[in-house]
Structure 1
Amino acid sequence: MSKFGELIDVEIPVLLDFYTDREDQSIAMHPILRDVAAALGDKAKVIKIDVEKNKELAEALRVKGLPTLIIYKNGEMKWRHSGEQDANTLINIIQEYI
């Protein structure tokens, strides 16, 4: 879990996508998140976290529905959403924290 702390304790916004490849909604988010990452460049990070490989972290953050999207900045959770989002909405939300 210490690696998780290093991931989120940065000055730029970090969008975490908790997903599983067994869920259609999670799979549908992959190209959207690629677009978000491309649009924001080095102003933000987009990190995908497979809940099946990171069960402890998903439980610690109480991830229930997938996909779950969480934005952190400076180690603090700023925004959270369960379910799909479109690229433009995500980009606008992340830009609030840049």
Structure 2
Amino acid sequence: MKAVTDADFEAEVLKSDKPVLVDFWAEWCGPCRMIAPILEEIAAEHGDKLEIVKLNIDENPEVPAKYQILGIPTLNVYKDGEVVKQIQGVKPKAALLRELGEFV
């Protein structure tokens, strides 16, 4: 999964021609480490329809502040420059796929 930053967020996420799921995470976040392999699997299986990227909130504070990310892990799905879905916390793969059904 590709990492995005405050600097390239607009180009990589907001201007993408397909939906992009952004995993807001931090190194110290245990639940973030738990969900990462699940997201890698989803990216491998559905990368043609949904791009999945990571944004480290400690290294990139501007984007999380703009989108009021108060807890992590938070997964935002962006389509046409807008947040169209937000998922918070760790969920099993099947539950994530259900929530992402319209995008995968």
1:29 matched to 2:32? The reply is no
User: 1:6 is matched with which residue?
Assistant: 11
Equivalent residue for 2:63, pick from 38, 41, 57? 57
Distance 1:89 1:12 in 2: 22
Distance 1:16 1:93 in 2: 14
Unaligned runs of 5+ in 1: none
Q: Which runs of 4+ in 1 moved over 6 A?
A: none
Q: Please list the CA deviations of residues 72-95 of structure 1 after superposition, one character each: whole Å capped at 9, or x if unmatched.
A: 111111101221122223333334
Equivalent residue for 1:20, pick from 22, 26, 33? 26
1:81 matched to 2:87? The reply is yes
* Code of the aligned partner of 2:27: D
Distance 2:16 2:22 in 1: 13
Distance 2:21 2:7 in 1: 18
User: What is the TM-score of this pair, normalised by structure 2?
Assistant: 0.83
Q: Percent identity?
A: 29
